[in-house]
Amino acid sequence: MRKRIVFIDGIRIITEEIDSAFSTIIPDAELIHIVDEGIIKFEAEDKPLKRRFCNLVLSAQEIGADVVVITCAHGVPSLPIVQALADVPVVQITMPMIEAAVNRGQTIGLVSTEQTIIQPIIRMLEGIAEQANKKVVVKVGLCEEAFQARLSGDTAKYDELVIRTMEGLSKTTDVLLLAQISTCRVLPKAKERLNKPILSPLIIAAERIKTMLDPVAI
């Protein structure tokens, strides 16, 4: 039987990028998306948002998910709650990337187009570093103008703004992290212009989830 991966997304435009990465690494898995664009209206620490994620994860479980993947960074503070509630594994898609980043360098550049997700990811970075008995310095490159460009459909402007932000961060960091799925689209162009390790949550998460599922059954 095919394994079923259910994604909980906060924005519809990222689903194709997710499917492209996961279908390459786990080609026989069934990929299903639950899109709730209301998620981004909340602050990440809001109690109503945590309740919303609980309901979404339970809905994913009810439709037969073998693993649930929260792709929205707003879900970071809700992760311990939904993991305790669910009967199937729940993964926040940036977590495997963050673990890899802590192993790659001490000064980490975090690239984001949304202010609200920065602090939850920084806390996650610092928590994982503490568990590994390491100290990390996080430098943030925020490009909110790019977020608006993506929503308006101007992908060329979006790509350029994100890459320029990455170029600025690359001068003083050991490794760059793409904080959101929506920024993963710039990876090929960014690699051409930057001589710096760049970590993308999609590929790393897909490889991690593949090891969680039975490779014989997939």
Higher pLDDT, 78 or 25: 25
**What is the per-residue pLDDT across 155-191, written as a single tens digit (0 to 9) for each?**
899 999 999 999 999 999 999 999 888 888 899 999 9
Instruction: Check: CB of residue 184 under 8 Å from CB of residue 172.
Output: no
With a cut of 80, say whether residue 9 has pLDDT above it: yes
Provide CATH code, domain 95-200.
3.40.50.1860
Is there a contact between 70 and 35 (Cβ–Cβ < 8 Å)? no
Classify domain 4-92+203-212 at the CATH topology level.
Answer: Rossmann fold (3.40.50)
The predicted pLDDT at position 111 comes to 95
Strand partners, 6: 32, 68
Residue 151 pLDDT exceeds 90: no
| Domain spans in the chain, listed from the N-terminal domain onward | 4-92+203-212, 95-200
Residues forming beta bridges with residue 70, ordered by sequence position = 8, 92
Write out pLDDT tens, residues 104-113: 889 999 999 9
Evaluate if residue 75 carries a pLDDT over 90: no
How large is the average pLDDT for residues 12-29? 92
Does this chain's domain 4-92+203-212 share its CATH topology with 95-200? yes
d(CA 163, CA 217): 39
pLDDT at 45 over 70: no
* Global confidence as pTM: 0.82
- In the numeric block, the tokens 């390790």 are attached to 197
Count of alpha carbons within 13 angstroms of residue 1, beta-carbon side? 6
Buried b (16+ CB within 10 A) or exposed e, 18-57: beebbeeebeebebebebbeebbebebeeeebbebbbebb
The answer on pLDDT for 217 being more than 60 is no
Q: Residue 197: what are its φ and ψ, rounded to 5°?
A: -60, 130
